[in-house]
Chains A and B, each alone.
Chain A
Amino acid sequence: MTDAIIIGAGHNGLVTAAYLAKAGLKVKVLEGAPQVGGAAVTREFVPGYQVSSVAHLLHAMHPTIARDLNLARYGLDLKAERVSTRSLLPGGRSIDVGDAASIAALSRADAEAYPVVMSRLARMADALASYALHTPPRPDIAKMDWEGKLNLGKFAWAMRRLGRKDMLELTRILTMNVNDLAGDYFESEAVRGLLCFEGVLGLALGPRSPSTVFNLLYRLSSLGANGQGGLLLPKGGMGAVTHALAKAAQIAGATIRTSAAVDHILIENDAAAGVVLSTGEEVRAPRVVSNADPQRTALQFIGPRNLDTMFVSRIRHMRMNGCTAKIHLALDGLPEALTDRRGRIVVAPRPDDIERAYDCAKYGRVSDRPALELVIPTLSDPSLAPAGKHVASIVAQYCPYRIRETSVNEARRQIGERSLAVLEEVAPGIKQRVTAMEVLTPHDLEAQFGMSGGQWHHGEITLDQVLFLRPAGQAQDYRMPVPGVYLCGAGAHPGGNISGAPGYNAAREILKDVRARRVA
């Protein structure tokens, strides 16, 4: 008999599967797509050209998980070189965050401030991230178990250790918008623009929207000790991460079935009893763990008829307006500006550029001039394209899921064309090099990867949707209201990115229930 079914072989589902299998449970992973990985995949988008189809930079993978699951042994090289971020500016100029001189050329003050400010922010982010591998505290502390109290105590200690000044600063900036923060710390538009870009990445918010500093801190928290300490381009693309995870899970005893889309969870006597596939096939198990996002999990798999109303409303109202498109270019060569750019490239020269790009999205339009993040993975891993050819992987913002007076096809065309136009300005000649292009709008991401709204994090990372409010109040401990149903994906604490943390935490809570024999 199967002890637990995991719906979805995204990286978090695989992490949960591996931990549960290691603990001796019989685990069956059912993935709807023909391949494992979820949004952490490498796919061929034109014959001969492969790319990380959604997530393309690895930074958040929690070292504890990588170590526990022995990912190095299963082919994931986390020792690879960290790549830096360079922001391309008009007129052929650029700054590289790892190169003080490049910043000094624009502002000496910013060049000096940059490392100081960023390490201060990183310190705060690290303190917050000390909760990454813990279940969020319950709002009613009286009902917390000793472990919860201990974690809360540790967290308070981490905060204290920041010292008075930093703690005060953290409370000041926590709810702020990233544009004001950038203005507090830096004088050059270029550095401010870059900081703003980091603050809005993955959100349907602009640099002047509140809570964007929190998103920035969330991102920074995955770049330090709770992540990989920087940005990595995994060899073989992001699929390498999930292949290693799948192997770890399988070797621990889990079975993985692809092209097995789940239609809904089977509920008997108000408890999980298994799942029903879209083919009508029934697979039974007393525990069902969903790696899909909270909306798909609650509204489709469990269904509103098995849930309470306020919970359903909360989940329905989760902000899931994906705003990020993914664009892949097959290139027969690189324009001069990009020839030796192994790292991450950002095109968001000024805060106002991003704000204007967001203005479009606010009213349901694709940005006239999108902000871009770009990597050319073939520079570090030529095997991804035919010899001498290249692939560019671009994250383009904003391309809203909620479009107005624009069809999805129209939006796809617009974000593709407009992103190329912006790119052409900072990397002249690139257009001529493009031999094929794939554009994935949030609608495409939803259709192909099951992410509702195409939302990066399975629900935006904003203060009202994190910690004990993620995915909804009273559901922060990975248990869904129906006994035996759990959530292990990015829609659970701490949130999205390729970190494995939600999957890790979910496994711990499931095992607690198994030991307490709470279900079956």
Chain B
Amino acid sequence: MTAYVEHLTPFLRKTPFHPRIEALMHGSHWMRWTGHYSPAAFESVQSEYFTIRNGASVYDVSPLIKYRIRGRQAADYVNHLITRDLSKIKPMHAFYTAWCQDDGMLVEEGTIFRFGENDFLLNSAKDQLHWLEQVAYGFEVEIQEASNELCGLSLQGPQSRDVLRAFGINGIDHLPRFGILELELQGRWLRIDRAGFTGDLGYEIWVKPDDALWLWDRLFEVGRDHKIAPIGAQALETARIEAGFILIDVDYSGALHALRPSNRMSPYELGIGWTVNLNKEGYFVGKRALKREKEQGLSRYVLTGIEIEGRKPAPGSFLYADRKGRRELGLTTSACWSPTLKKNIAFARVPSAYAKPGTEMWIEIWYHKEHKIERSMVRCRAANRMFYDPPRKSA
């Protein structure tokens, strides 16, 4: 290669599943995820989406950043770090939680796995070692990045359990939502947790990097009869909006990475106030500020779900109190047409008074139509952000 394009030499890292993913990739639909190649889509986003909702979808979640948290006071530490009450989480369970800065602004939200009393793994989307270590002052705890020690596949969809059953996972029928299972299969170590980003029945399967291709091949072999197929981030995007899950850098900026202090948001403002337990034993980072926010009603807005008339997706659209658009309320952060619900849905940042389900607002949508950009002002209503919540998710 000539010298002047040397800087263009691809530098992204490949996950242990890369050979299999690459073999199925059409037209180089890659995106970047924590410095790795990650599939945005394979062939058809639509069929990948329907795999999530009807079959068994496979998504490579290896790029997630992982931190191992251990030590004599690891439990105390985690409880100080997060907003949820750790005492309610038993070993061998995963849980979703928020963690905040001093002033109650969200650093990130994500999943923490608890394996033992003082043994945790935290998954995050952004590098946080510095923050985690700052919080660790005064605790006997050891925090280590373990991102490359494990790799994993997220297996999601109504048929995911059948796949695992066919795979020979004993006990998969009894694994409760957020439960964790560790086992050996064909002489290989596996960890399975029942969680995911689709709001559906689903699991994550973790293995040592050396066993990655074995896992992939076996899964696809036994999954053939269960509509197994790989998916990319684009299909997942629709599923996670239907499920009401917020996404960093889309619905909010992590407090450590926000460009301006005012860009940061609190868990209450993000509509995940349920993860904040102000009554738990002991102090946690941001508690005083969150208590004040809650008691004094200081939230600036809340990220609610909205259902929009018509079928035009409304990303980045402004909401108004009136049809004329004189009183601006806020804007949407994520939006899509939900193929399963047949609804036009979005997340919108609005004053809390407008977040009550059913509250009517107006939304201004700009869209492409035959080489023109057109505008329409349509009605929308606040709704529970968890638009899609099938019983099988937790059954």
Contacts and interface: CB of A to CB of B under 8 A. Distances in A.
A binds B: yes
Contact of A481 (B101, B139, B282, B288): B288
Given A270-B288, A481-B288, A309 B283 contact: no
Interface stretch (A30-38, A77-85, A299-307): A299-307
B134 A307 contact: no
Given A305-B80, A481-B288, A310 B101 contact: yes
Interface stretch (A8-16, A108-116, A311-319, A452-460): A311-319
Contacts of A306: 283
Given A303-B138, A305-B76, A481-B288, A311 B283 contact: no
B175 to A, nearest CB: 34
Contact of A308 (B139, B282, B288): B288
Given A270-B283, A310-B102, A316 B288 contact: no
B137 A316 contact: yes
A313 B137 contact: yes
Contacts of B80: 305
Contact of A305 (B101, B138, B289): B138
A361 B292 CA distance: 46
Interface in B272-303: 282-283, 285-289
A104 B286 CA distance: 62
B134 A313 contact: yes
Interface in B72-113: 76, 80, 101-103
A305 B285 contact: no
Contacts of B131: 309
Nearest to A270: B283
Contacts of B103: 308
Interface of B: 76, 80, 101-103, 131, 134-135, 137-139, 282-283, 285-289
A310 B102 CA distance: 6
Nearest to B101: A310
Contacts of A316: 137
Contacts of A303: 138
Contact of B102 (A304, A305, A308): A308
A299 B131 CA distance: 18
A309 B287 contact: no
Given A310-B101, A313-B137, A305 B288 contact: no
Categorize the interface residue count of chain A.
Answer: 10 to 19
Contacts, number: 41
Contacts of B137: 304, 309, 312-313, 316
Given A304-B138, A308-B289, A309-B137, 4 more contacts: A270-B283, A305-B138, A305-B282, A308-B288
A481 B287 CA distance: 11
Contacts of B282: 305
B138 A270 contact: no
A469 to B, nearest CB: 16
B276 to A, nearest CB: 15
B134 A308 contact: no
A305 B102 CA distance: 13
A299 B134 contact: no
22 contacts: A270-B283, A270-B287, A299-B138, A303-B138, A304-B137, A304-B138, A305-B76, A305-B80, A305-B138, A305-B139, A306-B283, A307-B283, A309-B102, A309-B131, A309-B134, A309-B135, A309-B137, A310-B101, A310-B102, A310-B134, A312-B137, A313-B137
A310 B104 CA distance: 12
A312 B80 CA distance: 13
B247 to A, nearest CB: 25
A308 to B, nearest CB: 4
Contacts of A310: 101-102, 134
A270, A309, A311: which has the most chain B beta carbons within 10 Å? Answer: A309
A308 B286 contact: yes
B277 to A, nearest CB: 14
Interface in A262-316: 270, 299, 303-313, 316
A316 B131 CA distance: 15
Contact of A311 (B102, B138, B139, B287): B102
A275 to B, nearest CB: 18
